[in-house]
A and B are shown apart, each in its own frame.
Chain A
């Protein structure tokens, strides 16, 4: 079974530029998550999708971050304009709806963003 795919793996941009990350979840997984992991910290949930609807985006800085999940499969996360403090690893994860109520998340390798 293929895992969660993310691209690019690395990105360096200057502040005030824009950047987009792409995620392809595991086939059949209804739930998709985007996390921001700043160096030395744990992942922080930015947005959670259930199919193509947003479940939680309470920690997404909506003045500069946006995300979409068209057709309930792939997702893109965009930052425009980027700030220095956006330097982090952006993780995508997906999970399968289950009857038992436990949804294991499978994480992608992440995209390391450096804003200079």
Chain B
């Protein structure tokens, strides 16, 4: 079946620190992979996506590369800001267009 496993939080970083949030997946076929972000008091928003192996998704300084060999889609940012404080969800879309979400990783960036 399909599932997503992401690193547990919470994660606390100082401003300008490097961020990595790990995500691995299990899927049949060739899923598409996503990172969603939920800012405090707001709804889920798509942050970035990758639809096939070796694709790199990027947005707002965040990047993630679809690694089929390691079934991973780790989220990275070189220099985090206070405004990046949010909950980040890794997700996959299966062959039937159904979405599966990880449990979320809470990030707090302190000045």
A44 CB–B CB distance under 8 Å? yes
Contact at B49–A109, with CB atoms within 8 Å?
A: no
Contact at B98–A48, with CB atoms within 8 Å?
A: yes
Residues of B within 8 A of A (CB): 4, 32, 42-46, 49, 51, 89, 91, 93, 96-104
Task: Name the residue of chain A whose CB is nearest to the CB of B45.
Answer: A107
9 closest pairs, A vs B, by CB?
Answer: A42-B101, A107-B44, A107-B43, A43-B101, A42-B103, A109-B43, A42-B102, A56-B98, A42-B104
| Complex: A42 Cα to B104 Cα, angstroms | 6
A40 CB–B CB distance under 8 Å? yes
Residues of A within 8 A of B (CB): 31, 33, 35, 40-45, 48, 55-56, 91, 93, 101-105, 107-110
Contact at A55–B97, with CB atoms within 8 Å?
A: yes
Q: Which residues of B contact A43 (CB under 8 A)?
A: 44, 89, 99, 101
In whole Å, how far is B36's beta carbon from the nearest beta carbon of chain A? Answer: 8
In whole Å, how far is A10's beta carbon from the nearest beta carbon of chain B? Answer: 13
Q: Contacting A101 at CB < 8 Å: which of B43, B51, B89, B98?
A: B51
